[in-house]
Amino acid sequence: MSPLTGAVALPDGTLVRGRGRREGLPAGPLPDFGLYLGHPDRPRRAPWRPDWPAEWVDWPDFRVPRDPDDAAAKIIEAYGLARSGQRVEIACTGGTGRTGTVIACMAVLAGHPVADARAWTRRHYRPRAVETPGQHRWIRWFATHRSP
């Protein structure tokens, strides 16, 4: 199975793609699964529903998830799918803050130290990923509260 265009290799080699939904889909294969951050019924534009299996996390822009436990479970599920070889996409509107936060959480799941997860994500995904102090704190919360 060919990887998604623009996929990032997590520290354990698992591939995931992060992007901003406003950037549009890149060329190449479609995702097998998408984890989308925001709210499908409260977009800035017309509602968007992908043609592939997907989950939504209710996560306001520049903030943290409204339901942290639900978000953590969905991140763990998406990571497991990617780890099993499925093409997984993570996306929010701009692709930087919320998407970067999820990629940093997945880096922790892949064995990377939580203390360096934001820096790792900025080196390997986007230089401004994880935009707010609250998002940075949420990565630490995720590392200590996620299910084993």
Q: What is the pLDDT of residues 55-97, one digit of tens each?
A: 999 999 989 999 999 999 999 999 999 999 999 999 999 999 9
> What whole-number distance in Å separates Cα of residue 38 and Cα of residue 61?
7
Range 130-142 average pLDDT: 97
Residues 6+ apart with CB under 8 A from 74: 35, 55, 57
The residue type found at 39 is H
DSSP H helices in the chain:
68-83, 97-109, 117-124, 133-145
**Does 147 score more than 90 pLDDT?**
no
pLDDT in tens, 103-131: 999 999 999 999 999 999 999 999 999 99
- Sorted by where each starts, the structural domains of the chain and their CATH numbers stand as 8-145 (3.90.190.10)
Distance CA 39, CA 24 (A): 17
145 token code pair: 């509260």
Contact by Cβ (8 Å): 86, 79: no
pLDDT score at 46: 54
